[in-house]
Structure 1
Amino acid sequence: MSRIDTADAVVVGGGIVGAFLALRLAEAGVRRVVLCEQARLASHGATSRSGGLLRLHHTVRSDTELAARSLPVFEQWADVIGGDCGYRRTGFLQLVGPEYAQALAANTAVVATAAGPGRTEVLGLDDVRRLYPGLSLDGVAAAAHEPDGGYADPVRAARAATTAARRAGVEVYEGVRVHEVLTASSQQRVTGVKTTVGRISAPLVVLASGAWGTGPAAGLGVQVPVTARRIGLAQARLPDVGRRAGPASVPTCIDDTTGSYFRPDGTDHLYFGVPSHPDVALGHDVAPLTAEEISSALEAVARRVPAVTTAHLTGTRAGLDGYTPDKRPVIGAAGPDGCYLALGFSGGGFKTAPAVADLATAEIVEGQAVAGKAEQDLLRPYRLERFDTGRQIVPEAPYARG
């Protein structure tokens, strides 16, 4: 690594979170930022297997706030980032059963406070049927609607953010894995990283590589409770009856009554999640989705989208993501000076990446003193210390599935 062996910051992980962090650090004046990705950009980790849902509705206020700060970036991507992230405004629905109708109203009110009343509303079921005639609402008691919700293409977004980072001066290393974070002999300060192609000296290292970040952190004596779990996504082509109803007849949706999520893709296809959460070992190939897993997921989605009953499966993806015990990320400084964590997003990193990068960059560049500001209070719930102090994140108005 003779061309560049020193930097002012090294960001580890080339998914959407790492790409945004590298971009924002460079824009904030950090002169030499190196982004290291162990595989091809946005092709190996959670970003490449994300469904790309863009929604504000959550059961934790701080999650809602981060999503509300991030959605405008996706909406105005060409102007604020450049290129195309694949954002499509389909509308978003959160569906719940009767026992969670009050929780849905409470969470919708939080969205309205965070993002403005025009961003969300509780809809009557007749209105839902009118807007989205491709849906069946059997077993649904309440629905929250976000007219600006939808989806984007996670891989396209991550690569566009990386292109913007390059324009800002970031050096991008693909196929370069970080094995170890180096420190001074006193172990009090980060001095760089050891990679598969040599060392990079740097006073700041940001670990944003999902489950893979736990190894380098552990080498610093920092134990991050992030577990690698298998995740799945599939795509089906709707039959003629579904196409006659039109792709727009189905929104982006999370259905708490069946534990499923799905979204259109702008043509005659539908993406849907395939529940698959066994722990997996890093460094091993992730097993493809099984016929039983896909069949079970299709059955759940078909309860909401009847056209799926005779849909033709056209693709699947299996990968892994890093999950914490409370299914929320770890964000903040940890261990020796100069080490910062942004990992363990537990399936929720894509839609909040712009806000996380903005707030984390402010902390890194301006110092922990800014943590007293109102904006930085949003990151307080996500500190690593919560797992040692018994302050794990608990939903204020939970649903059956969190």
Structure 2
Amino acid sequence: MTEAGPYDAVVVGGGVVGASLAHHLTLRGLRRVLVCDRGRFSAEGATSRSGGVLRQHHTAAADTRLTVRSMDTFTGWADEVGGDCGYRRTGFVMIVAEEYAANLAKNTAAVQEAGGRAHLITADELTAEYPGLRLDRPAAVSYEPDGGYGDPAAATRALLRSAERRGAVLAEGLEVTGLTSAGERITGVTTNLGPVHAPLVLLAAGAWSRPLAATAGVDLPVEPRRIGIARHRATAPAGPVPACIDDTLGRYFRPADGDALWFGAAADPAVALDARPAALRADEVATARRTLAERVPALATGTVDGLRAGLDGYTPDHRPLIGPVGPAGLYACTGFSGGGFKTAPAVGELVAAEVTSGAAEEWLAPYRPGRFAAGAPTESDFPYEHM
């Protein structure tokens, strides 16, 4: 890798966040950008195990701003990035217990204030719009007409192709084994093919970020967590359903092709990085399916015909670490805690602007890596039971 000379930047991690970083870095004039991944791009980490839900609704205004900004990219993907991100506008609904109705209204207003479209609807309006849903108990509902889902792997490929057209080098199977520095400045990375030199290294390796950062004397509070999703296929037409987070059940789901439905089935807090994540078990899938059948009756019958399990990096406050760390030139963009896909376009844009201009981006202030050492995690403004 060193025969071609030093790079302007090395992006460690070929998931959707790393791909967005490469896309935006090259848009801002960096041509010698190397993107490397220990496996196949978008296939080894959290990106290919993402449910792909696209929503703007969050319980912290900082998160809402990022997702509203990113939604503009998803809806205009062909013109802004090129290719296809798999965006499907099915609508998104957030369902919470009645006791959180006031918080739901405030978080819905935050979407509107950030420039997104969202409004409260009644339970009757929800089931009239989506006959595939059942809502028997009192609840409060927020609706986003532009919400839906996308294809994280397809989005990653499109972003990487965009970066490659402007000179980025894409290196699958190039495993970064450590970070190198001289004095107080980063000098590059070590890989399975030898050293690579660059004055800027962006660490977007998800669950694998902490041990890599440690080689530069940096402790990143990112823990690996096993995540999993399952695909259910109904035996008969079930009626349309939206993308949904149901806080009353602590679950999420979204429609797919035909009468299929993807739903979250696992999120384990303690796993080892040195082993392949265990496949989803029958009891994990059955528990999630049984719980969600209260909301989507079609889940009570039919078959599960697709499973995905993998690792993602989680932080103590379930929000990413974005900002300079350790030696000058080392930048963390990791620990997205299940939320990387829907925020990746805005994060890539803001980080690229920050590292190329040298001016701090105010929108990224809540995500600085030093917040935990300072005892100042980013908390929800108006939380729910599970969010």
TM-score range, shorter chain: over 0.9
Aligned counterparts of 1:60 and 1:177: Cα–Cα separation in 2:
35
Residue matched to 2:223: 227
The answer as to 2:289 corresponding to 1:291 is no
**Structure 1 residues 222-301: aligned runs within 5 Å:** 222-242=218-238, 245=239, 249-301=240-292
The alpha carbon displacement at 1:307 in A equals: 0.9
Aligned residue type for 1:143? V
Unmatched 5+ stretches in structure 2: none
Distance 1:111 1:347 in 2: 20
How many Å separate the matches in 1 of 2:115 and 2:2?
48
Query: Which amino acid in 2 is paired with 1:107?
Result: N
Count of aligned pairs between the two proteins:
387
Question: Percent of counterpart pairs with the same letter?
Answer: 51
Q: Find the aligned partners of 1:174 and 1:276 in 2 and give their Cα distance.
A: 27
Contact 1:95 1:140 in 2 (8 A): no
Find the counterpart in structure 2 of residue 134 from structure 1.
132
Question: Which residue of structure 1 lines up, in the alignment, with residue 48 of structure 2?
Answer: 48
The AA in structure 2 aligned to 1:63 is D
Alignment of 1:81 with 2:72, yes or no, is: no
Q: Does the aligned pair in 1 maintain the 2:226–2:268 contact within 8 Å?
A: yes
For 1:361 and 1:83, locate their aligned partners in 2 and report how far apart those are by CA, in whole Å: 21
Task: Work out whether 1:59 is the aligned partner of 2:50.
Answer: no
- The counterpart of 1:183, out of the listed 176, 181, 184, is 181
Contact 1:51 1:272 in 2 (8 A): yes
Instruction: Write out per-residue CA displacement over residues 115-152 of structure 1, whole angstroms, 9 at most, x where no aligned residue.
Output: 24xx1000011111111111011234110000000000
Q: What is the CA distance between 1:241 and its match in structure 2?
A: 4.4
Aligned to 2:143: 145
> Is residue 2:378 matched to residue 1:380?
no
User: Normalising by structure 1, what TM-score?
Assistant: 0.95
Which residue of structure 1 lines up, in the alignment, with residue 386 of structure 2?
401
Q: Kindly state the Cα deviation for residue 216 of structure 1 after the two structures are TM-superposed.
A: 1.8
- Partner residue of 1:120? 118
* 1:254-297 per-position Cα deviation (integer Å, ceiling 9, x unaligned): 00000110011131100000133131111211111111100000
Q: Which runs of 5+ in 1 are unaligned?
A: none
User: Structure 1 CA distance, aligned partners of 2:76 and 2:103?
Assistant: 31
Distance across 1 between alignment mates of 2:188 and 2:229: 36
Given that 2:207 and 2:313 are in contact with CA atoms closer than 8 Å, whether structure 1 keeps it comes out as yes
Task: Normalising by structure 2, report the TM-score.
Answer: 0.98
Pair 1:5–1:180, CA change in 2 (3 A): farther
Q: Give, in whole Å, the separation in 1 of the partners of 2:160 and 2:57.
A: 28
Partner letter of residue 332 of structure 2?
A: L
Which residue of the partner structure matches residue 207 of structure 1? 203
Alignment partners' CA distance in 2, 1:364 and 1:340? 8
The DSSP-based 3-state class of the residue aligned with 1:400 is: coil
Residue in structure 1 matched with residue 39 of structure 2 by the alignment: 39
| Conserved 8 A contact 2:52-2:152 | yes
Residue 39 of structure 1 aligns to a residue whose secondary structure is: coil
Query: 1-side partners of 2:221 and 2:267: how far apart?
Result: 20
Cα distance in 1 for partners of 2:273, 2:222 equals 12
Check whether the contact 1:230–1:318 (CA below 8 A) recurs between aligned residues: yes
Give the letter for the 2:337 counterpart: S
**Higher alpha-carbon deviation: 136-145 or 356-365:** 136-145
Task: Tell me if the contact between 1:20 and 1:353 (Cα under 8 Å) persists in the aligned partners.
Answer: yes
Give the letter for the 1:150 counterpart.
Answer: G
Query: Does structure 1 retain, via aligned residues, the 8 Å contact 2:266–2:280?
Result: no
What is the letter of the counterpart of residue 264 of structure 1? P
Q: Does the 8 A contact of 1:34 with 1:173 survive in 2?
A: yes
| Whole-Å separation in 2 of the counterparts to 1:111 and 1:290 | 37
Task: Give the Cα separation in 1 of the matches to 2:381 and 2:124.
Answer: 28
What letter is aligned with 2:368?
R
Distance in 2 between the 1:325 and 1:395 partners?
A: 13
Instruction: Return the letter of the residue paired with 2:28.
Output: A
Contact 1:122 1:144 (8 Å CA) reproduced: yes
The answer to whether the 8 Å contact 2:206/2:336 transfers is yes
Which residue of 1 is the match for residue 190 of structure 2? 194
CA distance in 2, matches of 1:263, 1:169: 36
The runs of 4+ residues in structure 1 deviating greater than 4 Å are none
